Amino acid sequence: MKTMKKIYTIVLTGIMLSCFTACKDQLDLQPISAIGDNAFYNTPDEINAAVVAIYDGLQNVVLREFALTEMRSDNTRTKNSEGDWAQFQEFDVRPTNLAISSYWSSNYNVIFRANKVLENLDVVTNDTQRAQYEGEAKFVRALAHFNLMRAYGAVPYIDRVIIQTDSEYMSRDPQSDVLAAIIADLTEAMGKLPSRSGIAEGRATSGAAAALLAKAQLTAGNYPAAETLLSQLLSSPDYELVDDYRDVFYSELNSEIIFAIQFLNDNTNESQDFSFEMTAGGLASGLNYVTNNFIAAVDPLDTERSATLFNPNVSLEVGKFMTTSNDARLCGNDWIVLRLADVYLMHAEAIMAGGTSTNDLDAIASYNAIRNRVGLSTLPLDGSATLTRDMLLKERRIELAFENHRLYDLVRFGVAESVLSAFAVSEGYNFAATDLLLPIPQREIDTSFGILTQNPGY
C-alpha cells in the first residue's frame, strides 16, 4: 500500500527550462489549487507543495532511462531494432536522438524545481521543517546532477534559478567539479533529513542521502568514505532485506526500499508506461528486452531470481515490472532508485577498494547476504575464501538486473570498454570508448548558441 501525502497542483513559470504544472501527492490525486509563480512560495504549505513537485518531476526522468543505461549494456535490447531506440543497443546514439534530449531536459527541470524551493525557504520559520525541505531539495538536485554526469560526462552544474541571459551557467563543468558538488549536496542533505521512521513514506530520508552519497564516493574512488556510510546503513533499523526476492518489486515501499519513485495504476497523471514497453510493447515495438548474453549469465540454480527476472509467459520479456493495471499503458509499478541489496554489494565493493579481489570477511559476508536470500551457495567465513571483482560484478548484474545499474557498474569497476567491446563484436556492432558517454543533445548545443560543446566521437 503506497503511503500518500496531500496533493497539490501548482503552476510555476519555467525560464531557461520548460515549465512544470503539476505538484501532486501520489495517493490523493484531487487538485486543490492552481497558483501562478508570482503568487506562490509565500507559506510553508506552498513550499511543501513545491517540494512534492520535485518528486513529481522525477517521474519523467525514469520513463525511458532504461534505454540510456540497460540498452547500452549487455543486458537488454529492443524487440525488433526499431527506430531511434536501436541506436542504444547498437552503440550508435546520435545527438538528434529524442530520448537523450528528453532525459537532459527532464533532469534539468527537476534541478530547476529544487532550486526554486531552495530560493524560497525563508518563508518556513520552523527550523525542523525548513531543514527537511532543504535536505529533500538538495538530495534530488544531487540525484539529477548525478544522472546527468554519468550519462553525458561534463555537464553544466546549476545551483540556483537561472534565466536565459545567464550564459555563464550554460558551459560544461568538469566531471570532477560536478561530482564534488553532488557530494557536498548529499552530505548536507544527510545531515538535515530525518530517518525513514521520521518522515512520510516515499520522501527522501537521511538513509537515501547516505546511500546515494556512498555511490558518489565510490564513483570518485573514495572507498573509505563509502565504506563508512555503507556500514552505517547496514546497521540501520530502518532497512532490512525482504525474504522473497519477488516481494522487492511487488510489495512496494517494503523494508528493503531506500528510495523509489512512485506511480499509480490507471491514472492519467500518476501512471507510467515503461512497464508496457518492457513487457508488451505491441506487435512490432518493445523496449528493454533481455539479451541472450544476459540469459547465459544467469546460473541455472538461480531459480528464485529467474522467476522474477523473466516474464514466465513471454520469452525475453523482463519480469520485474509486470503490471496489474487495467490499462496496459497506465501502469503503477514504482521505480526503485536505491535498495538495501545494492548497499550490501556496494559495501563489498568499497572494501575491495578498486582491487581485483579481497579476503575481507565483512566484504564476503555482504556478498553472502544477497546470495543466501535466494538460496545460492555462499563463501565460507573461515578465512579461506576469496571474493573476486568478477564474482561481485556478476552478482550485481543478476541481483540488480534491469534497474539501470549495469552500465555504470562496468564503468566504475573499470571494465566497461573490454566487456562491451566483446559484447558488441558478438552482436555485430561497433563499440568505441567514446560510446561510454552519450552525445550532448544537439538541441541543447543549438539553443546555447554554441556554448555547450559536444563529446568526443559525435
With contact defined as beta carbons under 8 Å apart, do 277 and 328 qualify? no
Other Cβ atoms closer than 10 A to 226:
24
Nearest CA among 440, 454, 449 for reference residue 105? 440
With contact defined as beta carbons under 8 Å apart, do 334 and 262 qualify? yes
Of the options 1.25.40.890, 1.10.10.10, 1.10.274.10, 2.40.50.140, the CATH number for the domain spanning 43-73+95-192: 1.25.40.890
Radius of gyration, alpha carbons of the chain: 21
Confidence of residue 37 (pLDDT cuts 50, 70, 90): low
The average pLDDT across 193-222 equals 97
With contact defined as beta carbons under 8 Å apart, do 273 and 267 qualify? no
In the chain, % of residues over pLDDT 70: 90
Domain segments of the chain as ranges: 43-73+95-192
Residue 106 has pLDDT above 90, yes or no: yes
Confidence of residue 449 (pLDDT cuts 50, 70, 90): confident
Confidence of residue 40 (pLDDT cuts 50, 70, 90): confident
How far is the C-alpha of 435 from the C-alpha of 60, rounded, in Å?
24
Averaged confidence pLDDT in the chain = 91
Residue 20 has pLDDT above 90, yes or no: no
With contact defined as beta carbons under 8 Å apart, do 330 and 304 qualify? no
With contact defined as beta carbons under 8 Å apart, do 53 and 113 qualify? yes
pLDDT of residue 202: 92
**Chain-centroid distance, C-alpha 354:** 23
The average pLDDT across 432-447 equals 96
pLDDT of residue 67: 96
Residue 42 has pLDDT above 80, yes or no: yes
With contact defined as beta carbons under 8 Å apart, do 340 and 253 qualify? no
Residue 334 has pLDDT above 80, yes or no: yes
What are the pLDDT digits (tens) for 122-174?
999 999 999 999 999 999 999 999 999 999 999 999 999 988 778 888 899 99
Within 221-338, residue ranges assigned H as helices are 223-234, 247-250, 274-279, 292-297, 303-309
